[in-house]
Amino acid sequence: MERVYFDNSATTKVDPRVLEEMLPFFTEHYGNASSLHSFGQDAYDAMELARERVGAALGTAARDIIFTSGGTESDNLAIQGAAYALASKGRHIITSKVEHHAILHTCQFLETQGFKVSYLPVNEEGWVSPDSLKEAMTKETTLVSIMAANNEIGTIQPVKELAEVAKEGGAIFHTDAVQAMTKVPLDMSKLKIDLLSLSAHKVHGPKGVGALYVRKGVKLRPIIYGGGHERGLRSSTENIPGIVGLGKALEIGMSEMDESVAKMSAVRDRLIEGTLSSVPRSYLNGPRGANRLCNNAHFRFDYIEGEGMILHLDMRGFAASTGSACSTKSLEPSHVLRSLGLKHEQCHGSLRLSLSKFNTMNEAELFIEAIGPVVENLRKMSPLNEKVDYNVATVH
């Protein structure tokens, strides 16, 4: 049975060229980058090359890049680091209701520490309005954090406009770009973004490594203390193989971005068109077209629950998700889908397909053939089928 991987927003396959570049740093160039001898210098040089590559991917200087263990740590360092560093100026943070839990849970923690957090609503496509940000800004606002693209429904946020509003209000602006990197142009020389989180394993790099872009002059308080690595912001011996992999993955990702985006967009559009036209009572969550990530298709199927779909699709060779992989232990519906105005039972029947450059049009055709019978089979078992008429506005 051919296996098709449509869960690339959870994690991606490591590009063989990335792995090849990483391997010597496990067995030959295994030095500690802080050591003065040549083993250490080899590691240090590789780390600094990676820093340059990450900086180049963002259109900024290498010195603005802090290596971390991944997107979650980058988000924590950005949010906690900025909130505490600026606490004497104000204790108000603004974010949105559709952020990743790495942001939302961190903000909730800060609320227990005396900070006030405003969670901006989104429209039915998951879009944060710059006007709503403007209204929420106060003199106490020190930090605004809005993701560049949503990990569940693929909505690309207007970060350029949002960052400008934040800056005009005197706050610094952070964006979680974990899903957007190598798919959406993010040039720090043109955007008023102060802090940006990214992760290697979403862009065909290894797991366990990420980075935080910190614009020159932005003050952060560290959340990990120790030997003073990464300009004192992130102590811990550097993960050199991972950092090498991150640098290479971003270098490849940026150089091949136009081609990859075009390919993924075409497969995505076929998946959306084919699924909606072949499965009755199926809907698209999130926007269509340019405001949607090129690799995201997120469906809702009335009357059924998502996990059953995942299991049946897996038996047919397709790896997909009901939403965020981080939420699979949760029995509550996605906070992102709820924020769109969907009812709980509608959220439960959602399915996320997320693509990579390795997916093909043929795989999309195979999925379109498979999904109809899966949905039909589950609907036959559902007591909701033909008994419920969901009376909500939907994005079709």
Positions annotated as catalytic residues are: 326
Interaction between residue 281 and another protein (CB under 8 A)? no
Closest distance of CB 108 from another protein, Å: 6
Q: Which residues of 134-152 are buried (b: 16+ CB within 10 A; e: fewer)?
A: eebbeeebbbbbbbbbbbb
* Cβ closest to another protein, residue 70 vs residue 205: 70
Q: Which residue has the tokens 């992989």?
A: 325
Could you tell me the smallest distance in angstroms from the CB atom of residue 71 to another protein? 17
Residue 211 has which token pair? 């980075």
Alpha-carbon distance 64 to 81, whole Å?
15
Please report whether residue 300 would count as binding another protein according to CB under 8 A. no
How many CA atoms lie less than 13 Å away from 340 in the CB half-sphere?
29
Residue 324: which of 9, 50, 1 has the closest Cα? 9
Nearest distance in Å: CB 344, another protein: 4
For residues 174 and 183, which CB has a smaller minimum distance to another protein in the complex? 174
Of the candidates 52, 256, 305, 365, which one interacts with another protein according to CB under 8 A?
Answer: 305
**Is residue 95 a contact partner of residue 120, using CB atoms and an 8 Å limit?**
yes
- The residues in 323-342 that bind another protein, with binding defined as CB under 8 A, are 327, 329-333, 335, 338
* Contact predicate 182/205, CB 8 Å: no
The nearest distance, CB 335 to another protein, in angstroms, is 5
Task: Compare residues 120 and 188 and give the one whose CB is closer to another protein.
Answer: 120
CB 246 within 8 Å of CB 205: yes
Between residue 102 and residue 131, which ones bind another protein under the rule CB under 8 A? Answer: 104-105, 108-109, 112, 119
Q: Identify the residue among 16, 289, 383, 393 touching another protein (CB under 8 A).
A: 383
Q: Interface mask (CB under 8 A) for another protein, residues 46-85, using x and -?
A: ----------------------------------------
By beta-carbon proximity to another protein, the closer residue of 47 and 375 is 375
Least Å distance, CB 144 to another protein, is 16
| CB atoms closer than 10 angstroms to residue 228 | 12
* Nearest Cα to Cα of residue 103 among 90, 91, 118, 89: 118
Among 311, 325, 361, 392, binds another protein (CB under 8 A): 311
As a whole number of angstroms, the distance between CA 370 and CA 349 comes to 17
Q: In the complex with another protein, which residue's Cβ is closer, 112 or 391? A: 112
| Minimal distance, residue 98 CB to another protein, in Å | 9
Whichever of 199 and 334 has its CB closer to another protein, that residue is: 334
Query: Taking a C-beta distance cutoff of 8 angstroms, is the pair 3, 13 a contact?
Result: no
Q: Which is nearer to another protein, 13 or 343 (CB)?
A: 343
**Of residues 67 and 301, the one with the C-beta less far from another protein:** 301
Q: Using CB under 8 A, which of the segments 222-230, 251-259, 282-290, 304-312 binds another protein?
A: 304-312
Residues forming a β-bridge with 149: 156
Which two three-digit tokens encode residue 220?
A: 């952060």
Where are the alpha helices (H) located in the chain, listed in sequence order? Answer: 16-22, 24-27, 38-58, 71-85, 101-112, 130-136, 159-168, 240-255, 257-278, 306-315, 335-339, 344-348, 361-381
For the CB of residue 325, give the shortest distance to another protein in the complex, in Å.
Answer: 13
- Residues that bind another protein (rule: CB under 8 A) add up to a total of 34
Whole-angstrom Cα distance, residue 343 to residue 65? 41
Asked if 11 touches another protein (CB under 8 A), the answer is no
Give me the amino acid identity at 282.
S
CA separation for the pair 151, 327 (Å, rounded): 12
84-to-65, 80, 106, 181, 355 alpha-carbon distances in Å? 20, 6, 12, 27, 38
Cβ at position 306, least distance to another protein in Å: 8
Interaction of residue 140 with another protein, rule CB under 8 A: no
- Kindly state whether residue 376 participates in binding another protein, applying the rule CB under 8 A: no
Footprint of another protein on this chain (CB under 8 A)?
97, 101, 104-105, 108-109, 112, 119, 303-305, 307-308, 311, 314-315, 327, 329-333, 335, 338, 343-345, 348, 380-384, 388
